[in-house]
C-alpha cells in the first residue's frame, strides 16, 4: 500500500481580491476563500493512484484555522486524513520557510512514497514549492505529469508533457509529482464522503507540537526573500468598441473621440 | 391581409426627430442582426428602419408616428429569442430597448425594484445580490433583457420552487399601439380588481403593447445553496425519481435533467467534464441536478440525506455533491452552456420547448428519439425535469437546408401531436413567435385561438405591433 502525501493551500478568490491603492496591501476582508485549483488536480492524480494500487492519502496544509475548510473539501474527494499546520509564528512565510515547515510536520506523519503538489498556487504563483519540497524530502521529482503509467518495484513511470511532445520518464520512490490540470480534472464528492468530511477530525500541528522545529527557520525569520513593496501595474486605458450599426455614425463618433483626445 | 406603408423620407424625418442624434437608422444603416434572433432557421427579415429608444415618452412619440402612418413596429431586446418573436416579418420599424438599461430604484421596505426593460437578466441578478436580494426567475440565457423575459413569460431553472417571470411582475408601464401610455398593476401583493391586463401583457411578445418600465418583486437572497448531481443508468429511471423527490417535501429550487449525449457534447465543447459520463464503472444514461437553497446549512444537509435515500430507492448510481464555489461555477457554466454546445457542433438546428406533465417526460423523450432515428435527424435534449419543460433540438451537419426543414417538419408535426395527447403545452418558456403559431392554433383549438385574435384586435386594431406573431394571421400569404 502506498503512503501518499498531498500538499494543498487555501487561497483568496483571486478574481475578487483588490489592492488598496494607498497602502499597496491586498484587501482580503470579506473575500471568499477557495482551494488552490491546481492542488485539486494533484489530489485527483493521487486518488487515481490510490484507486489503482491501494494507498493512504494524507492531506497537509499550512495556514490560519479557517484553512480547515480546504482540508475538509479534500477529504470529501478522497483524502484519508488531514493535517493543518497553524500558528502565528508561521505567518509571513515565503516558500523557503513554508517548505521547511511542511517537511518537518510530514516527518512526524511517516515516510511517504509519493508526494503530490499543485504546479503553483494561483495567488503567489511562484511555482517554487514542489522543487523545494522534493529537495527537502530527498525525493525524485516528476513535473508536468500528464499520465502515471506504472508504479512497481520502488519505481514510478510517468508521461510528462513538454512544449513539443511527451516524455516517458522513470524515477525512484519516493517521488514528488506535479500534474497537468487537463488530465486530472477533479471529481465531485459523493454524498456520504461529503457528509463524513464535515465531521472528520483535523489534526492541528503548531510551532509547539512539531518535533525538532527550529523557530528561526519558520515564518518571516526563516524566509529568504523580502518583499519591499507591492503595487498594481498601471493598466492602459481600456479600448472602446463603437458599433451603433451604422458605419456613418461609427466613423462620426470615432472622429469626435480622436478630436477630443487631440489625436487629429 | 393587413397592408402597411413604407417609411417615407418624411416619416423617417419625424422618427429621427423623435429620438436623439445617432439613434435612428434607415435602410443600410440598420444592424443586419436585427433581421433574426438566435434561431435563424426561421428566416431573416430586414426592417426598413430601426430606432434605439431611451424613454417611455420616446416610445410613445414613435408609436404615434407609426400608428398615423400605418408602419409596423417590432419591439426587440437582446435578440436572444428562439422562435422568431423579435423578427420584423413585415419590415417596418424595429424598436430596440437595449439602451433602456437602467435599474431605477429599489424599495427595500417592500422588496421591489423598478427598472427599464433593456436591463440584462445577469445585470439585474448581480445588482439585486448587492442589496442582499434575489430575482428568482432564472432562464438559462443570462444576456436576455428582463423586458424580453416578461414578453415571453420566461421560466428558467428555479421555476420548481419560485415560479416563473409572471409571478414576480407587479406593475408595468406600457405604450399602446396608438402611443397612449398606460400603467398596469401596482406594487401590491394581491389584487382582485377587474380583468388583469397586466397578466395579459406578460407573455404577449410585443403584440399588444410596448413595455417601457417594470416593477418586479424580489426576495431575500438565500444564504446557502447546494446542488446534488444524481446519475442513473437510464432516462426512464432518472425521470421516475423526479415525482418522488417532489413528493418528499424537500422543496428543491430546481431539478434539471440532462441525458448522456448532451453531457458529452457539453464536455467536448467547454473542456469542462464536471458531469461524469461514468460513475462506479457504469455508463451514465441520464442525470438530474437537484438544487436546494435556504437560510440554514444543517437544514440543507438533512434535505440531501433524504435525497440520498430516495436516490438509492430509485436505483441511482450515486449522489454527487456540488458545494464549493469552484464546482458550482463549473456545474452551472456547463449547464448554462448546453445550448451553446449544441450550436457549436451543429450546422442546422431547430428546436421545440414543450412542457408535459412530469411523469410523461420519458414517454415523450422516447417518442422523440424514435422520430429522430426514423427521419435521420440527430436529437439533443435537456430541460427542467422538475416542471416538465423540455428543450429538444433537431440537429444536422450533413443535410441540405431544404431537406433538413422537410424532415424536421415531419418530426415537429408528430411531436406536437404527441405533446397534445400527453396533455402538454406547445411552449414552456420560449413562446410562440411566428415559428410555433400553427402548433399553438392546433393545441388550443379554434375557439380559443379566435378569442386571442379578438383580444389582439382590441389592443391593436391596425395590427402594427409585431405583425404575424402569436395568433396574428394578418400576414397570411407571406412567407413565414
User: Grid coordinates representing B307?
Assistant: 435525497
Enter the pTM of the model: 0.84
Q: Is residue A93 part of a domain?
A: yes
Closest CA to B85 of B208, B247, B263, B205: B205
**Are residues B334 and B380 located together in one domain of the fold?**
no
pLDDT higher than threshold 90 for residue A124: no
CATH code at B69?
A: 3.30.43.10
- Whether residues B79 and B135 share a domain: the answer is no
CATH number at residue B310: 3.30.70.2190
Q: Number of folded domains in chain B?
A: 4
pLDDT digits (tens, 9 = 90+) for A103-112: 999 999 999 9
> Both B204 and B235 in a single domain?
no
Same domain, A159 and A198: yes
B116 and B78 both lie in a single domain: no
In a domain, B446, yes or no: no
- pLDDT for residue B1: 66
> Residue A167 sits in a domain of what CATH number?
3.40.50.620
The pairing of beta strand B24-26 with beta strand B49-52: antiparallel
Q: Do A249 and B22 touch (CB under 8 A)?
A: yes
User: B301 vs A13: CB contact, 8 Å cut-off?
Assistant: no
Distance from CA of B325 to the nearest CA of A (A): 7
Tell me which chain A residue has its CA closest to the CA of residue B24: A246
- Quick: pLDDT tens for B396-405: 999 999 999 9
pLDDT of res. B479: 38
Q: Do residues B16 and B113 both lie within one domain?
A: no
Measured CA to CA, the distance from residue A15 to residue B301 in angstroms comes to 29
Among B288, B306, B155, residue whose Cα is nearest residue B231 = B288
Domain that holds residue A199: 2-217
Q: How far is B68 from chain A (nearest CA, A)?
A: 27
Do both A173 and A259 map to the same domain? no
Give Cα separations from B131 to A245, B193, B216, B218, B219 (angstroms).
35, 32, 14, 10, 11
pLDDT of residue B477: 45
B305/A194 Cβ within 8 A: no
Interface of A with B (CB under 8 A): 13, 32, 34-35, 37, 40, 73, 76, 182, 185-192, 194-195, 198, 244-249, 252-253
The reply to whether B132 falls in a domain is: yes
In a domain, A224, yes or no: no
* pLDDT for residue B78: 96
Statement to judge: residues B331 and B249 lie in one domain: yes
Mean pLDDT by 10 residues, chain B (480 residues): 89 94 92 93 95 98 98 97 96 97 96 98 96 94 96 92 96 98 92 93 98 97 95 92 89 92 88 90 94 93 97 96 92 85 90 91 90 94 87 94 96 96 95 95 96 97 97 68
Nearest to B171 by CA among B152, B156, B150, B154: B150
B305, B339, B373 - which closes a domain: B339
Nearest-CA neighbor of B463 among B446, B84, B471, B430?
A: B471
Domain match, A242 and A168 both? no
Supply the range of the domain harboring residue B289: 224-339
- Of A204, A174, A179, A199, which is closest to residue A110 (Cα–Cα)? A174
Quote the CA–CA distance of B321 and B255 in Å, as a whole number.
14
**Is B469 within a domain?**
no
- Residue B390 is assigned to a structural domain of this protein: yes
Strands B254-259 and B224-232: unpaired
Contact criterion met (CB < 8 Å) for B326 and A40: yes
Instruction: Report CB contact under 8 Å: A249, B323.
Output: no
In-domain check, residue A228: no
> Is A18 among the domain residues?
yes
Domain assignment present for residue B476? The answer is: no
Tell me: cis bond preceding A177? Omega within 30 of 0 counts. Answer: no
For residues A208 and A239, membership in a common domain is answered with no
Contact A139, A175 (CB under 8 A): yes
Flag whether A160 is in a domain.
Answer: yes
Q: Does one domain contain both A171 and A260?
A: no
A189 vs B318: CB contact, 8 Å cut-off? no
Residues of B with a Cβ under 8 Å from any A Cβ are 22, 25, 29-31, 33-34, 50, 52, 228-229, 271-274, 276, 301, 304-305, 307-308, 318-327
pLDDT of A163-222, one tens digit each?
889 999 999 999 999 998 889 999 999 999 999 999 999 999 999 999 999 999 999 999
Chain-chain contact of B322 with A252 (C-beta, under 8 angstroms): no
Q: What is the CATH number of the domain that holds B366?
A: 3.30.70.2740
Q: Please say which residue of B54, B84, B99 terminates a domain.
A: B99
Residue B284 CA: distances (Å) to CA of A58, B240, B338, B454, B460: 31, 15, 17, 50, 52
CA distance A66 to A86: 10
Both B110 and B179 in a single domain? Answer: yes
Pair B332, B350 in one domain: no
Residue B463 counted as domain residue:
no
Last residue of one domain, picked from the residues B99, B121, B147 = B99
CB-CB neighbors (< 8 A) of A249 in chain B: 22, 25, 29
Q: What value of ipTM does the predicted structure carry?
A: 0.85
Number of domains in chain A: 2
Amino acid at each position: 500500500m502506498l503512503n501518499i502525501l498531498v500538499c494543498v493551500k487555501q487561497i483568496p478568490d483571486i478574481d475578487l481580491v483588490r489592492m488598496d491603492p494607498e497602502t499597496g496591501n491586498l484587501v482580503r476582508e470579506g473575500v471568499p476563500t477557495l482551494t488552490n485549483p491546481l492542488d485539486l488536480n494533484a489530489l485527483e492524480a493521487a486518488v487515481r493512484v490510490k484507486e489503482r494500487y491501494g494507498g493512504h492519502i494524507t492531506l497537509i496544509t499550512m495556514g490560519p484555522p479557517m484553512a480547515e475548510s480546504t482540508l475538509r473539501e479534500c477529504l470529501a474527494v478522497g483524502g484519508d486524513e488531514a493535517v493543518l499546520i497553524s500558528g502565528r509564528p508561521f505567518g509571513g512565510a515565503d516558500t523557503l520557510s513554508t517548505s521547511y515547515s511542511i517537511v518537518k510536520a510530514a516527518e512526524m506523519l511517516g515516510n511517504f512514497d509519493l508526494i503530490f503538489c499543485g504546479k503553483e498556487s494561483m495567488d503567489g504563483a511562484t511555482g517554487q514549492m514542489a522543487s523545494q519540497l522534493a529537495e527537502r524530502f530527498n525525493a525524485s521529482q516528476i513535473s508536468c505529469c500528464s499520465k502515471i503509467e506504472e508504479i512497481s518495484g520502488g519505481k514510478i513511470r510517468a508521461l510528462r508533457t513538454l512544449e513539443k511532445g511527451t516524455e516517458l520518464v522513470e524515477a525512484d520512490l519516493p517521488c514528488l509529482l506535479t500534474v497537468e490540470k487537463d488530465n486530472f480534472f477533479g471529481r465531485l464528492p459523493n454524498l456520504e464522503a461529503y457528509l463524513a468530511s464535515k465531521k472528520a477530525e483535523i489534526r492541528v500541528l503548531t510551532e509547539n507540537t512539531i518535533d525538532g522545529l527550529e523557530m528561526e527557520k519558520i515564518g518571516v525569520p526563516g524566509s529568504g526573500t523580502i518583499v519591499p513593496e507591492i503595487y498594481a501595474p498601471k493598466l492602459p486605458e481600456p479600448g472602446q468598441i463603437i458599433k451603433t450599426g451604422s458605419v456613418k455614425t461609427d466613423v462620426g463618433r470615432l472622429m469626435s473621440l480622436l478630436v477630443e483626445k487631440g489625436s487629429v | 391581409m393587413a397592408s402597411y406603408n413604407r417609411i417615407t423620407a418624411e416619416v423617417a424625418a419625424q422618427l429621427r426627430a423623435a429620438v436623439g442624434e445617432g439613434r435612428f437608422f434607415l435602410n443600410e444603416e440598420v444592424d443586419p442582426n436585427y433581421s433574426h434572433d438566435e434561431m435563424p432557421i426561421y428566416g431573416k427579415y430586414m426592417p426598413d428602419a430601426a430606432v434605439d429608444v431611451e424613454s417611455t415618452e420616446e416610445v410613445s412619440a414613435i408609436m404615434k408616428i407609426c400608428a398615423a402612418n400605418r408602419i409596423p413596429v417590432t419591439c426587440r431586446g437582446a435578440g436572444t429569442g428562439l422562435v422568431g418573436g423579435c423578427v420584423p416579418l413585415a419590415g417596418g420599424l424595429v424598436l430596440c430597448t437595449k439602451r433602456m438599461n437602467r435599474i431605477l430604484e429599489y424599495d427595500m421596505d417592500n422588496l421591489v425594484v423598478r427598472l427599464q426593460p433593456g436591463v440584462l437578466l445577469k445585470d439585474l441578478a448581480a445588482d439585486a445580490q448587492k442589496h442582499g436580494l434575489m430575482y428568482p426567475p432564472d432562464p438559462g440565457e443570462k444576456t436576455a433583457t428582463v423586458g424580453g423575459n416578461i414578453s415571453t413569460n420566461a421560466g428558467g431553472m428555479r421555476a420548481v420552487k419560485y415560479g416563473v417571470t409572471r409571478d414576480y411582475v407587479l406593475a408595468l408601464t406600457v405604450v399602446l399601439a396608438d402611443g397612449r401610455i398606460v400603467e398596469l398593476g401596482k406594487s401590491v401583493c394581491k389584487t382582485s380588481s377587474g380583468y388583469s391586463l397586466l397578466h395579459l401583457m406578460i407573455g404577449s411578445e410585443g403584440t399588444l403593447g410596448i413595455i417601457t418600465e417594470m416593477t418586479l418583486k424580489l426576495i431575500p437572497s438565500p444564504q446557502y445553496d447546494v446542488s446534488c448531481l444524481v446519475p442513473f443508468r437510464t432516462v426512464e429511471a432518472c425521470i421516475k425519481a423526479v415525482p418522488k423527490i417532489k413528493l418528499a417535501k424537500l422543496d428543491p429550487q430546481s431539478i434539471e435533467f440532462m441525458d448522456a449525449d448532451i453531457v458529452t457534447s457539453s464536455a467536448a465543447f467547454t473542456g469542462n467534464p464536471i458531469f461524469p459520463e461514468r460513475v462506479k464503472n457504469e455508463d451514465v444514461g441520464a442525470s438530474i441536478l437537484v438544487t436546494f437553497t435556504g437560510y440554514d446549512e444543517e437544514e440543507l444537509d438533512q434535505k440531501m440525506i433524504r435525497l440520498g435515500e430516495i436516490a438509492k430507492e430509485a436505483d441511482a448510481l450515486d449522489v454527487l455533491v456540488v458545494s464549493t464555489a469552484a464546482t458550482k461555477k463549473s456545474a452551472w457554466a456547463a449547464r448554462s452552456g448546453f445550448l451553446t454546445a449544441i450550436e457549436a457542433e451543429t450546422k442546422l438546428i431547430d428546436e421545440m420547448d414543450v412542457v408535459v406533465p412530469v411523469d410523461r417526460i420519458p414517454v415523450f423523450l422516447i417518442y422523440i428519439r424514435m422520430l429522430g432515428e426514423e427521419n435521420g435527424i440527430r436529437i439533443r435534449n435537456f430541460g427542467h425535469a422538475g416542471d416538465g419543460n423540455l428543450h429538444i433540438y433537431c440537429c444536422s451537419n450533413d443535410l441540405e437546408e431544404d431537406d433538413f426543414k422537410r424532415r424536421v417538419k415531419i418530426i415537429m408535426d408528430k411531436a406536437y401531436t404527441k405533446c397534445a395527447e400527453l396533455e402538454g403545452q406547445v411552449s414552456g418558456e420560449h413562446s410562440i413567435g411566428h415559428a410555433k403559431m400553427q402548433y399553438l392554433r392546433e393545441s388550443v383549438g379554434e375557439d380559443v385561438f379566435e378569442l386571442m385574435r379578438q383580444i389582439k384586435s382590441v389592443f391593436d386594431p391596425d395590427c402594427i405591433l409585431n405583425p404575424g406573431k402569436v395568433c396574428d394571421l394578418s400576414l397570411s400569404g407571406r412567407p413565414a
